[in-house]
Amino acid sequence: MEQIQSENNFDFGEDVESWQAATFLYNAAAKEVLTKLEILNDEFVHIHNYNPIEHIKHRIKTPDSIVKKLKRYGKEVTIQNMVNYVNDIAGIRLVCSFTSDIYKLAEMIGRQNDLTVVSIKDYIRSPKESGYKSYHMIVSVPIFMSDRVVDTKVEIQIRTIAMDFWASLEHKIYYKFEGNAPESISKGLRHCAKMVSDLDAQMLALNEEIRKYQ
C-alpha cells in the first residue's frame, strides 16, 4: 500500500469536495487519537486504580479559523498550505486533576509506536507572557484509506482543571477584544494565572500527602 505524507505530497485541490476530504481526514485522525487515549486511561485505571484524565474534549477547526490563521502567517489560503502550516486543525484537550498527571500522560503518549511526536511546547515550565499554561504536543497518526495511508497531524493539549478554567476565560477575552484587552484586564488575568499556579501546587502537595496513608 502506498504511503503518502500529507504535509508534502497529498494534493487536495481547491474545490468544496477537497475541503470535505481534508475535514474527513482530520476527523478520522481525531477519532484514532481519542481511542488511543481512552485505552491508555483504561489501562492506567486497571494497573494503578487511578484515573489520570478527568475529561476529554475535541474539536475540528472551522474554515474561518483556518483562513485567519493562514493570513496571520502570511500564507496564501490553499488546502496545501492548510495542511503544511496549520498544525492544530484537529485538536484534543486532556484535562487532569494534577500537574503530575500531565507529564505521565505525555510520556505514555510518546511511547505509542503508531504515533509520531512532531513537536512539544511546554507552557507549564515556560508559561506565555499572558500567564497561559498548558502542555502541547503535535502528533502524526496514519489514516488508512482504501488505497493509501495519509499521515495526519493532531494537536493534543494537556492541562489541569484549574488551567483549563483560566484558559477558557482568556480565550473569551482574547476574542472579545481581538487580542487587545485593556491593561487592567490583562493584569487581572496574570494575577489569576499566579493563583491557579499556586492552587495546582498546593493541590498536588495535598494529594501526595494523602497517598502516603494509602
Q: Is 155 annotated in the active site?
A: yes
On whether the CB atoms of residues 45 and 51 are closer than 8 A, the answer is: yes
Any idea of the CA torsion for 84, 73, 79, 157, to the nearest 10 degrees? 60
Distance of CA 180 to the CA centre of its chain: 24
Of these residues, 2, 43, 155, 170, which one is catalytic? Answer: 155
| DSSP result, 85-119 | H-TTSEEEEEEESSHHHHHHHHHHHHT-TT-EEEE
**DSSP E strand boundaries for 123-190:** 135-144, 148-160
Residue 67: left (phi > 0), alpha (psi -120 to 50), or beta? alpha
Active site residues: 155
